[in-house]
Chain A
């Protein structure tokens, strides 16, 4: 590791957090990129997002006692600063404005998810409407 870098270096493909595990910290990307992925029941990987310098992830673990909702792995070499839950929450208690940026980013993510969800729903509806269908009687027993 470069002596002048802060944080910890993860190599390409290295798992930083794993979906389903419990965590006590969030991460801020100093340099490089990470991929946020989820694993479906059938084992298929779905890429949710790619994050770069200045972005953070794992923040949900700071505010709720739930398992990590996604796996995050390094895309190329990445350098990360770990932020401890205790350090951050204590500081937020003294200076709530420290949470502004986190809330802002979380809000942006919800907005993106909303947009994505709207697009997916619209596509589903279009697919449904264009599907050839049999006439189904609104009342059972009647044709």
Chain B
């Protein structure tokens, strides 16, 4: 009997891919603007999937940064937390994060308030959150001491077959409906592609006026954050911070979220909030709760490196057109948390769409856009959660009640620890905001929290603090 071998491309034709008007073919060229996590993840997954379906693609990644350098030259400006969920997803994809790029495995969170502190241990007593540097560490870090997270992912993409062009892309134009990237390089300055993927984030000045070039596109909304690095040395870090991420529930106007993350010999201070300025930073750094995380008399106005990067607060509009797709921060990201996790999700969704569906507007609309919308609708729950947290942050009796509930839960060897789980997930970005929100609606949780709030209110009244 005559056998018939079905190739990957036959499969694509038979599985409805022919419905797309534009498809990637053997020898198609793909240009990726930005070699951060989104660009590298995209290239890695696109080449992996194209190999499965016997499609030979040619990928160029444009990245001017040298991730082997310390300080701003090699850094992509971020808190550098790889969430518990992302660590698991990467492990399932065969991307294991080596010890050389994980500056510290985080096994707990310590929540600081003006009424005390409480530690929340990881549910499995396992280090599944990674603190990393996007480059090779803050300014002055010894070269070769650590490897960069972004550099590691870029290397993975190159190993799969992507080419790197160390140049900044200045503009994008269309020649006969094909996108063309214009860049500054001694050997060439223009390249035309079958597909262009924009993964340059929101902290760059490259590719300005995209909304005028790409019909219907509107850049994501963003807000300013503050990141500062302090050199403490590993012994002092062990003594004062350990392997915990320290988060702060303080009554400071405009403060949304603040954390201190231990990484190797350094600690990273991250502050998120409305219109962050030097005043807010100074108030935060001078609070006794923050000072308690540093040795006495440590010069907090010093520091090795600092920056004021932007963070997504609203997704972009229509992040695709024929032969062009935006991913990562340039498209949609999770509110305040797990930006690298969102880069992973959008990059993979775009790669799957390009190979399995096509690269026309309709393909991205059908297969990629729902993924972006899912992140967006989850962020709406995030907004509610951050609003509630802010409300509790401003009331002393609720701060006390939260702390009391956590301490009681953490003392229990077994059983449900809903408040701890809610805060763990909220701080670590381990669950969707929707799931965290639904967890807070459990009657047992609400009942216990209401009881602890009432007790705290009575105690505060007895202490004579009726001012709030």
Contacts and interface: CB of A to CB of B under 8 A. Distances in A.
Partners in one complex: yes
Interface of B: 45, 49, 52, 85, 87-89, 91-94, 96-97, 99-100, 102-105, 124-128, 130, 234, 238, 243, 264, 345, 348-349, 352, 371, 374
A81 B91 contact: yes
A97 B96 contact: no
Interface stretch (A2-10, A11-19, A133-141): A2-10
A53 B89 CA distance: 16
Minimum-distance CB pairs A-B, first 10: A28-B91, A8-B126, A4-B99, A81-B91, A83-B88, A6-B105, A4-B102, A3-B104, A5-B99, A6-B127
B16 to A, nearest CB: 15
B43 to A, nearest CB: 15
A2 B92 contact: no
Contacts of A82: 88, 124, 126, 128
Interface string A13-38: 00000000000000010100000000
B88 A1 contact: no
Contacts of A94: 345, 371, 374
A100 B53 CA distance: 13
Nearest to B262: A3
A88 interface: yes
Given A3-B105, A88-B88, A53 B99 contact: no
Contacts of B349: 95
Interface residues of A, number: 27
Instruction: Determine chain A's interface SS by DSSP, over half rule.
Output: mixed
Contacts of B88: 81-84, 87-88
A54 B105 contact: no
Interface of A: 1-8, 28, 30, 53-54, 56, 81-84, 87-88, 91, 94-95, 97-98, 100-102
Contact of A100 (B52, B100, B103): B52
A83 B87 CA distance: 9
Contacts of B352: 95, 97
A4 B105 contact: yes
Given A4-B103, A81-B87, 5 more contacts: A3-B234, A6-B127, A54-B96, A97-B352, A101-B92
A56 B88 CA distance: 12
B92 A98 contact: yes
Contacts of B87: 6, 81
Contacts of B345: 94-95
A84 B94 CA distance: 16
Nearest to B355: A97
Contacts of B89: 87, 91, 98
Nearest to B146: A4
A4 B238 CA distance: 12
Contacts of B45: 97
A142 to B, nearest CB: 43
A28 B375 CA distance: 27
